[in-house]
Structure 1
Amino acid sequence: MTETFASPAHSSPAFAPPTRFAVPGRIAVGNQTAAGWQTATLTEVRRETPRATTFRFAVPAWAGHLPGQHLMLRLTAEDGYVAQRHYSLASAPDDSGHIELTLDHVDGGEVSGWFHTVARPGDRIEVRGPLSGFFAWPGDRPALLIGAGSGVVPLMSMVRHHRARGLSVPLRLLVSARGPEDLIYADEYGAETTPVFTRSAPEGVPVGRLTAAHVAPLVAEEPPGGWEAYVCGSNAFAEHASRLLVEAGQPVERIRIERFG
């Protein structure tokens, strides 16, 4: 998720305590896990695109999360200055004792700037979470995912969970990027994913923004129980994608939105 000074704007209350589930595909998360700060040690840095990088952390006491949840990250400088940000979790919950964050290098961003220019394996930060249950996908219902840019980060956690658990519930992903070089996690996508390129595309692939031609056919598939739609991106993208979903017949009450900015 792109750097933000406040909690991501949800279409419901910003915090819903995690609960324990017994439904196949769900992950048990205790209510106490979000309360305290934990030390996270950076173990790996992976470049995803020219401006986005994945940072992998060892967090031995991490009790798990639901795909789509986020955490609060805290950096403390030597002079005592503290910076806190909310970031979506990119990793699947099954990755025990580790979490991954994928961060854009935001121009002027003090936290993302530190990660992209200073952070090295062995560095330690503090994290608190998981936070928010509204945007979480437990894996027990068909999921139609739509994201743009770094808005794909929490959606990728859902895709990874779907694969790790071998879930049979339908899942589809529409992801928008400026061009192939800006497509985060490009090497991981499979048949469930349709990329949309807005500025440049491989030969034979149309260029343009997300349209009804991308969204309507997926909504029309309407698997048993219907889709639960998850939209993540900038304010403008979230509004545009949500409007396309509604026009295609997706019930408003079954659209979950996470915005960043």
Structure 2
Amino acid sequence: MSIDDVAPTATTWTTGRIITKELPTPSTVRLRMHVEDRLRHWPGQHYLLRLRAPDDYTAQRSYSVASDDSDPLLELLVEKLPGGEVSEFLADVAEVGDVLEMRGPIGRWFTWDVRTPALCLVGGTGVVPAISMSRAARHAGRPDLLRILAVGRSPDELPYDDELHRSGATVAYTRHSTGTRPPGPPTASEVAPLLDGIELAFVCGSSRFAGLAEALLVECGLAPDMIRVEQFGATG
């Protein structure tokens, strides 16, 4: 993978056509889309999706990209939130072939250059940018540059659970025990060994998760200026 030193950021709206739609869990929808005039993206960037009603009322939300730049389609995984105007439409109404207004890629702070040794400490649907980073690392032939610690309630509820395991990620379930680990959040003893040689850490998840994860990294000796945090919530 060869990308410029400055992450691209789109300034104009375009359209994307839904090519495939899946519901991997009751609370998520995975879309793979063909985006017109698509710009190259760095792992960690996101897109804005905008819905427009017949009366011209609009609603828009931001979603992280799961695909890497070499993928011919753009992949998004969206959590269906109760009362979420955009997420409920994407999960329950949108169909293959539908065309949506989109703008992206967006974001420069929470991006990985596929060169710097990094750790992703991510939770729930916050695993999405880590998936993009992992795919980019594999495409570049440098999976050794990225470590992932993903946290979810159970295997059935953690997005991309199978792919995370195949990529060698460390997975912690908070409500599910495995043969080697009881249920519970990650501990300092689990995180500390993953920081050896790391120059940058990415934290992504809910505001509560992000706060706990950042504090855990600092407790394990990582300097705060080496940590990049992205939080999500009901309003994006």
Q: TM-score, normalised on structure 1? A: 0.84
CA contact (8 A) 2:118 2:201 kept: yes
1:152 aligns with 2:124: no
SS in 2 for 1:184: coil
Larger RCO: Structure 1 or Structure 2 (Cα < 8 Å, ≥ 6 residues apart)? 1
Is 1:113 matched up with 2:115? no
CA distance in structure 2 between the aligned counterparts of 1:127 and 1:26, rounded to whole angstroms: 25
- Correspondence 1:18-57 to 2 at 5 A: 25-28=1-4, 34-57=10-33
1:211 aligns with one of 187, 190, 207: 187
Q: Pick from 156, 163, 183: which aligns with 1:181?
A: 156
Shift of 1:81: 1.4
Relative distance call for 1:208 and 1:32 in structure 2 (3 A) is closer
1:246 and 1:30 map into 2 onto residues whose CA distance is 28
AA partner of residue 15 (structure 2): T
**Unaligned 5+ runs, structure 1:** 1-24
2:78 aligned partner = 103
Specify whether residues 123 and 216 from structure 1 end up closer, same or farther in structure 2 by C-alpha distance, changes over 3 A only. Answer: same
2:200 to 228, 231, 237: 228
Alpha-carbon distance between aligned partners in 1 of 2:17 and 2:29, rounded to the nearest angstrom: 16
Match of 2:137 in 1: 162
Q: Distance in 2 between matches of 1:66 and 1:31?
A: 6
Instruction: Tell me by how many angstroms 1:30 deviates.
Output: 8.3
3-state DSSP of counterpart to 2:82? coil
Structure 2 stretches lacking a partner, 5+ long: none
Q: Deviations over 1:91-145 (max 9, x none)?
A: 111113x211100110111110001111110001011111111000010110100
Using the alignment, how far apart are the partners of 2:141 and 2:24 within structure 1?
25
TM-score (normalised: structure 2): 0.92
CA distance in 1, matches of 2:75, 2:38: 12
2:35 aligned with 1:63: no
CA distance in 2, matches of 1:182, 1:26: 34
Question: Percent identity over the alignment?
Answer: 41
1:125 to 100, 105, 119: 100
Matched length: 232
Contact 1:56/1:100 (8 A) holds in 2: yes
- TM superposition shift of 1:51: 1.3
Instruction: Mark the CA change 1:29 to 1:37 in structure 2 (over 3 Å): closer, same or farther.
Output: farther
SS at match of 1:137: coil
